[in-house]
Amino acid sequence: MRNKVKMSLVHYKHFLLGVCAFGIFIDIFLFNFASDLITLFLIGLWILSVWLYKFEGRVSVAGALAFSVICPFLLILKKEPIAEKAAIWAYMFLVVGVGQLLKESFVNKKNDE
């Protein structure tokens, strides 16, 4: 079942990643409100993209670091609401990255045994 779903989505993986990246950009820089539903939807798209592209946990952690680096510059420019959203996305990417790294650790430990 999982392979069937993956094979049907593999043709759209570039589109899904693009929608995810564009949606996060729109959420941070254009929306003046914080919506948990939008955040949940975009994180779901990110997790789906991670699964389709087989990204390692380092990719999500790198995304978290990128959003964390943006925050101080936005605060210097007096863009507090945008910096807050960037910090939220940094946290979300960090949560996903840590989850990926834990999964990778358990899989590696299982393969070593």
Structure-token pair, residue 86:
């960037």
Give me the residue label for tokens 């079942």.
Answer: 1
Would the pLDDT of 1 be above 70?
no
21-35 confidence digits (pLDDT tens): 999 999 999 988 888
Contacts of 15 (CB under 8 A, 6+ apart): none
Give the predicted TM-score (pTM) of the model.
Answer: 0.88
Contacts of 34 (CB under 8 A, 6+ apart): 84, 85, 88
Q: What is the dihedral of CA 24, 30, 33, 38, to 10 degrees?
A: -30
Residue of higher predicted confidence among 28 and 1: 28
Write down the domain spans for the chain.
2-112
Q: In whole numbers, what is the pLDDT of the chain averaged over residues?
A: 91
Structure-token pair, residue 29:
């820089």
Residue of higher predicted confidence among 111 and 29: 29
50-86 confidence digits (pLDDT tens): 999 999 999 999 999 999 999 999 999 999 999 999 9
Q: How far apart are CA 2 and CA 53, in angstroms?
A: 15
Query: Is residue 9 very low, low, confident or very high in pLDDT (cuts 50, 70, 90)?
Result: confident
For residues 31 and 38, the answer to whether their CB atoms sit within 8 Å is yes
